[in-house]
Structures are given as structure tokens and as C-alpha cells.
Amino acid sequence: VWGSVYDVRELLDSSVKLMDGKSPLEINFGPLNVFKKPILKTIKGTVIEKLLKDHDIIKSDMKY
């Protein structure tokens, strides 16, 4: 049994790999795009931001 099947870090890595290295934040969500910046500003400086950066969800060249 693989103990990391519910590990958030593995799920984040898998989502980026399934999208050929693109971040899920690079997708155009239409009207939901207005929520991206406020959410990213809210998590700025937190452990969540570090986790997302470590797993390439938030890339260094992204503006937010």
C-alpha cells in the first residue's frame, strides 16, 4: 500500500505533471479569474504559498 496516496504534495505534483508542466493557475477560468488575485494575495507569506511554490503551482515569473 502506498502511504502517500492522500498526500497533498503528491496531488499537487501530479496535477502539474498531468498538465505537461503548466500550472493550474495558468488556465483561463473565464469569470472565475477575478478570484485568482485576491486569493493569491491572501496566501502571500504563508506556508500555503511556500507549498504551492515548491510544487510549481505558483511559478516565480507569475504576477499576483
User: Do 12 and 24 touch, CB atoms closer than 8 A?
Assistant: no
pLDDT in tens, 6-17: 888 988 998 899
- The answer to pTM > 0.85 is no
pLDDT along the chain (64 residues), means of 10: 76 91 89 92 95 92 74
Reference 51, options 2, 9, 3; nearest CA is 9
DSSP string across 24-61: GGGS--GGGGGGHHHHHHHHTTSHHHHHHHHTTSS-TT
Task: Give the Cα separation of 64 and 14 in Å (integer).
Answer: 24
